[in-house]
Homo-oligomer: A and B are copies of this chain.
Amino acid sequence: MSGAGEHPGAQLAAFAAGLRLEQVPPAVQRRAEDLLLDGLGSILAGKGARPVEAIARFWESQGPAGGPAEILIHRRGSSPLVAAAVNAAACHVAEQDDVHNGSVFHPAAVVIPPALAMAQALGASGAQLLEALVAGYEVGIRTGEFLGRSHYKVFHTTGTAGTLAAAAAVGRLLGLDARQMLHAFGSAGTQSAGLWEFLRDAADSKQLHTAHAASAGLAAACLAKEGLTGAQRIFDGPQGLAAGMSSDADPARLADGLGTRWTLAETSFKYHASCRHTHPAADALQAVMAAQGLAAADIESVVAHVHQGALDVLGPVTDPRTVHQSKFSMGTVLGLVAGRGGAGLREFEDHWQDPDTRALRERVRMELDPEVDRAYPRRWIGKVTVTTRDGRVFQGRVDEPKGDPGNTLDRAALAAKAQSLAAFSGAARPAEVSRLVGWCQSLTAQARVGMLLEPA
């Protein structure tokens, strides 16, 4: 099916359609369980967020009053389409969901909601859900890598590549064959959307993008099952994704290392509750402050030496107007790290507008760094120059930010993170989160994916 003679998109479709649990190395399976827990925690953290609740009100009003797929933040069932959209919106608002560095793609938000919704609707096993998650991550990440850096300058890759990721995950659960999976990819890719323009206004589109990707991708897979056909070369055809939305797309990335390279295991957990582009500098600042025994009051200024993508995404955010936008403000993030010891959900919520946070924010600037830029997006190097009030100058550096595969969070840290995410929004009680931890860590032993929380 996935012969070398086929084009890369067809190879990727055949891989996703044929993926079996036995092919997935045990360490990758365990990582998938951890990512699932981390994603469920992020979904729960979205409860009560204004854009998430707006999206939920709309989608719930358009769907059935009940159903097999769980809207986690409201503890009620609906159709898979509705649950996928709402959970995807919820997953991406706290800025704590996972990220794959090389593709600059957030897989959890667009893979876990549609996969979970369809697994619940089908009564799939935990092993089948895990296969679907792996298919979704491998397809979405490779699509993001394929679309390249030119794409990311204008498009929110999580929204665009997300339709493919969601289609792969749901398509795997539906048992699509390779031919049907390629149709699903065609229908998903021709619905790919998501522009960064909203960042300039602190508008709510980021949650809309994940909701759209999850629902459009789920639709694409279900439609392929119903017989709807799609373009065969949606990735690299003359009027396909690359032609329309990228100037440096590389089709070879689509089939790179299928079955041997597990991009899911390259995915990073987010430690700080901010845009990933701020994390390397945040870690570097923490490192230099710890090494030199500096307090926030000692700091005169910070220069964050960054890659171009950070300038593109964070550059427009000079005066954040909402807590969510402040997560895209390098100055706010470094201000919280310096002044509060960290940039977690709680620190943002309580302190993003504090005078001392804002004062340090004004003394942070970003500069393009050739070494950091060359390494990006394979490696996200953090470099800062800190000047103290008494005139000393220190360089800080981290080569792998906290949460990256080589500097990952262990299961205890992940369980604690999930607890703090649920506690932040009040979406689940500690005992419930503990049950979720256990359920995720024994996923392949679950005979049937049912509802995860008690009904409201």
Contacts and interface: CB of A to CB of B under 8 A. Distances in A.
A257 interface: no
A92 to B, nearest CB: 14
Interface in A338-396: none
Interface of A: 50-51, 54-55, 57-58, 61-65, 79-82, 153-155, 159, 183, 186-187, 189-205, 208-209, 212, 216, 219, 222-223, 226-234, 237-241, 243-245
Contact of A228 (B61, B159, B196, B204): B204
A52 to B, nearest CB: 10
A212 B223 CA distance: 13
A164 to B, nearest CB: 12
A193 B241 CA distance: 10
A233 B62 contact: no
Contacts of A234: 195, 197-198
Contacts of A153: 239
17 contacts: A54-B227, A62-B64, A154-B239, A159-B190, A190-B198, A190-B208, A191-B208, A193-B216, A195-B231, A197-B238, A199-B239, A200-B238, A200-B239, A201-B229, A203-B230, A204-B229, A245-B245
Top 6 nearest A-B pairs (CB, nearest first) are A62-B81, A196-B239, A54-B226, A197-B231, A154-B244, A197-B240
Copies of this chain, count:
2
B204 A230 contact: yes
Given A82-B62, A190-B209, A191-B212, A229 B203 contact: yes
A197 B239 contact: yes
A53 to B, nearest CB: 8
Most B C-beta atoms less than 10 A away, residue of A197, A200, A231: A197
A194 B188 CA distance: 10
Nearest to A151: B244
Contact of A203 (B62, B186, B226): B186
A206 to B, nearest CB: 10
Given A81-B62, A203-B229, A204-B228, A237 B193 contact: no
Nearest to A193: B193
A203 B231 contact: yes
Contacts of A81: 62
A63 B232 CA distance: 29
A186 B212 contact: no
Given A55-B228, A187-B208, A201-B232, A193 B192 contact: yes
Nearest to A225: B58
A50 B227 contact: yes
Given A197-B238, A200-B233, A223-B55, A62 B80 contact: yes
Given A200-B231, A216-B212, A195 B226 contact: no
